[in-house]
Amino acid sequence: MAPLMEKIAEALHLKSHHKEKEAKAEEHPAVTAKQVFDSSKVTVVFVLGGPGAGKGTQCDKLVQEFDFCHLSAGDLLRAEQHRENSEYGELISTYIKEGQIVPMEITIKLLENAMRAALEEKTTGEGWGEGRGRFLVDGFPRKMDQALKFDEEVSKSSLVLFFTTTEEVMLQRLLKRGETSGREDDNEESIKKRFRTYKETTMPVIEHYTKQGKVASIDASASVEEVYEKASAVIKELFAGQLSRSVTV
């Protein structure tokens, strides 16, 4: 384990799981020693889109229909920020207010731990049991380094659900959400910074997965129900094994 990862894992009270990975590779030679979760058993759908596009809203609905475990990278970071004795609270708070991307080691470790906990706890339900599981990883990967590391070392993603709309729509939604969310980044100054990071840092991730034929783009300007109809149809196709290229719906 790289020294930085080791340090972060220790600080977050996270165990090293390399032994576990090596043992798994011996049992199943087809599983690369580097990946934590077997992608033939674990379905990972990344959910992307600009701030306020409606990722969390749509994930909440997809969970009900398809029995996904919904993991929002932003929520996991905020929980870590507020965890007592977290060494990273201040760092995370600064990155979030500035709309910057938190160093990937922290976010990936939080996601990995949450996935492991879900696989241990949830053993019944469609797509679950005997090491199987299905995850909506919301707001991740926001930067190329996160995308490459997760696919290579955690579990290979199957699909990117990409919610698109205009900055004006996103701004209005975020300002409205800011009236009650209590989030320190739902204000005009932070929102502008988040839009900039989205364009400069996250769009290359979308381009990367579009080239791999893994992106389903969904216009998120319409009502929650109308957007959901499209999102649900895409996921149905995914589970039916009928998605083989990037699509716009």
- What dihedral do alpha carbons 96, 114, 140, 101 form, nearest 10°? 30
Q: Residue 157, interface with ligand C5P (CB under 6 A)? A: no
**Alpha helix positions (H), the chain:** 3-11, 18-27, 55-66, 73-82, 89-98, 104-121, 144-149, 167-181, 188-197, 203-211, 224-239
Residue placing its CB nearer to ligand ADP in the complex, 57 or 86: 57
Considering only the stretches 6-14, 80-88, 135-143, 150-158, report the one whose residues sit in contact with ligand C5P under the rule CB under 6 A: 135-143
Q: Which of ligand ADP, ligand C5P, Mg ion, none binds 100 (CB below 5-8 Å, type-dependent)?
A: ligand C5P
Q: How far is the CB of 34 from ligand ADP (least distance, A)?
A: 30
User: What are the residues facing 48 on neighbouring strands?
Assistant: 162
What are the tokens at 172? 């209005």
Considering only the stretches 136-144, 150-158, 222-230, 235-243, report the one whose residues sit in contact with ligand C5P under the rule CB under 6 A: 136-144
String of contacts with Mg ion for each residue 29-68, x by CB under 5 A: ---------------------------x------------
Q: How far is CA 25 from CA 114, 116, 154, 223, in A?
A: 22, 17, 14, 46
Residue placing its CB nearer to ligand ADP in the complex, 181 or 212: 181
Whether a cis peptide bond, with omega within 30° of 0, leads into 103 is no
Are the C-beta atoms of residues 203 and 130 closer than 8 Å to each other? no
Pick the binder of ligand C5P from 73, 136, 170, 218 (CB under 6 A): 73
Q: Which of ligand ADP, ligand C5P, Mg ion, none binds 109 (CB below 5-8 Å, type-dependent)?
A: none
Residue placing its CB nearer to ligand C5P in the complex, 51 or 54: 51
73 burial level (CB within 10 Å; 0-12, 13-18, 19+): buried
Q: How far is the CB of 19 from ligand C5P (least distance, A)?
A: 27
Phi-psi region of 113 (alpha: psi -120 to 50; beta: other; left: phi over 0): alpha
Q: Residue 118, interface with ligand C5P (CB under 6 A)? A: no
Residue placing its CB nearer to ligand ADP in the complex, 56 or 89: 56
Q: Residue 99, interface with ligand C5P (CB under 6 A)? A: yes
What are the tokens at 33? 């020693």
| Residues that bind ligand C5P in the complex, under the rule CB under 6 A | 51, 72-74, 77, 95-96, 99-102, 107, 139-140, 142, 146, 185, 194
